[in-house]
């Protein structure tokens, strides 16, 4: 590329790995260290193709169904959560199970159990077909929990008019889009209540807030993340909703240099499943154009999660 109009690159913070993702990836690394390869991960441990490829090179085999792994295999359940019957199958087949489900996803699983037991009708706000929602809704057993993704779908709901009604949400949704769906639910069902604490995870919210602030100063925003990453996609949508052109790319090799024409300030963020090395590669690219990246800190993130109990016990007994 010849002369560029880009004068400034702003790196949003927080960005990249959240506590749940870091915990899940570390769980796989620790499991490899303890048992050696191969180990199996049910569903991609996190939705990022670079993370999955790096782990595959170390002997991690990603599967979608436990039937793809032999009896007695070492299996890690992904951060997105799993159906109850998967735990039953793993136990029946004497698999060594490490559960890397994000604690915030587990929270929603437990809420389903609790509120159904207390006689509530539950409405779930989420994306159709997303693995997290499939696991959460599986907690209901034979009870059907309606899933709504848009305000238009709320209008089509046919659940009668239950006295005890609550909504729960997928953890990786856009705060703004969810607000529209919640408003539609409250209009149709004034008695509906919210979960005691928001189900949308702090990391998702923090990254969206950072992108909103970044959009006020940027002509273009690059979001690093894989196409199947819900929270990364929401970051792109958040930037565009703020009136700034934004693109979701896996790494800097996917940058179309035509995007930079007449662009002076480029904002950069990354989804919660994205390794920092991918942002560092982008920084190096812009440095080659003579543009030094600057940190743009919106909020500090200090949350950490303890490792899975299964791993704690294994390490204790070693």
Rounded to an integer, what distance in angstroms lies between the CA atom of residue 291 and that of residue 284?
Answer: 9
pTM for the complete prediction? 0.92
Cα→Cα distances 250→137, 184, 210, 247, 282, Å: 30, 34, 20, 10, 11
Q: What is the pLDDT of residues 55-70, one digit of tens each?
A: 999 999 999 999 999 9
Residue 294 bears catalytic tag: no
E-assigned strands of 170-251?
Answer: 220-224, 245-249
- Average pLDDT, rounded, for the chain: 95
With tokens 């441990």, the residue in question is 45
| β-sheet bridge partners, residue 148 | 125
> Is CATH 2.30.40.10 correct for 19-102?
no
Cα Rg of the chain, angstroms: 21
Catalytic residue of the set 68, 85, 111, 132: 132
**Other CB atoms closer than 10 Å to residue 296's CB: what's the count?**
20
Domain boundaries defined on the chain: 8-17+202-297, 19-102, 104-188
pLDDT value at residue 145: 97
Evaluate whether 19-102 and 104-188 have a shared fold: no
Cβ 77 vs Cβ 51: under 8 Å: no
pLDDT at 1: 45
Asked if the 104-188 domain carries CATH number 3.30.465.10, the reply is no
Q: pLDDT per residue over 4-41, tens digit each?
A: 799 999 999 999 999 999 999 999 999 999 999 999 99
Q: Could you report the per-residue pLDDT of 256-310, keeping only the tens digit for each?
A: 999 999 999 999 999 999 999 999 999 999 999 999 999 999 999 998 999 998 8
Q: Which fold has domain 8-17+202-297?
A: Cobalt-precorrin-4 Transmethylase; domain 1 (3.40.1010)
pLDDT band at 189 (very low <50, low <70, confident <90, very high): very high
Q: What is the mean pLDDT of residues 125-144?
A: 96
């Amino acid at each position: 590329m010849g002369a560029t109009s880009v004068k400034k690159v702003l790196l949003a913070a927080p960005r990249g790995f959240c506590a749940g993702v870091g915990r899940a990836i570390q769980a796989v690394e620790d499991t490899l260290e303890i048992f050696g390869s191969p180990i199996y991960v049910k569903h991609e441990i996190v939705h990022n193709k670079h993370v999955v490829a790096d782990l595959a090179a170390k002997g991690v085999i990603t599967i979608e169904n436990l039937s793809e792994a032999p009896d007695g295999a070492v299996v890690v359940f992904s951060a997105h959560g799993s159906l109850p019957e998967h735990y039953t199958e793993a136990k029946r087949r004497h698999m060594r199970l490490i559960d890397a489900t994000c604690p915030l996803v587990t929270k929603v699983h437990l809420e389903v159990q609790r509120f159904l037991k207390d006689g509530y009708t539950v409405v779930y706000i989420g994306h159709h077909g997303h693995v997290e929602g499939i696991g959460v809704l599986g907690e209901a057993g034979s009870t059907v929990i309606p899933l709504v993704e848009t305000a238009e779908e709320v209008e089509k709901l046919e659940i009668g008019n239950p006295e005890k009604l609550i909504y729960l949400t997928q953890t990786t949704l856009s705060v703004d889009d969810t607000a529209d769906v919640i408003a539609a639910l409250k209009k149709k069902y004034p008695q509906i209540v919210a979960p005691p604490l928001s189900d949308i995870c702090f990391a998702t919210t923090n990254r969206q807030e950072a992108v909103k602030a970044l959009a006020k100063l940027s002509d273009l925003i690059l979001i690093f993340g894989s196409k199947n990453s819900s929270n990364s996609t929401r970051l792109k949508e958040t930037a565009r909703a703020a009136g700034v052109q934004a693109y979701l790319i896996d790494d800097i090799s996917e940058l179309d240099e035509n995007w930079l024409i007449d662009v002076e300030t480029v904002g950069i963020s990354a989804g919660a499943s994205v390794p920092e090395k991918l942002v560092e590669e982008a920084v190096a690219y812009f440095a080659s154009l003579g543009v030094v990246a600057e940190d743009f800190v919106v909020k500090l993130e200090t949350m950490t999660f303890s490792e899975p109990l299964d791993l704690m016990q294994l390490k204790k007994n070693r």
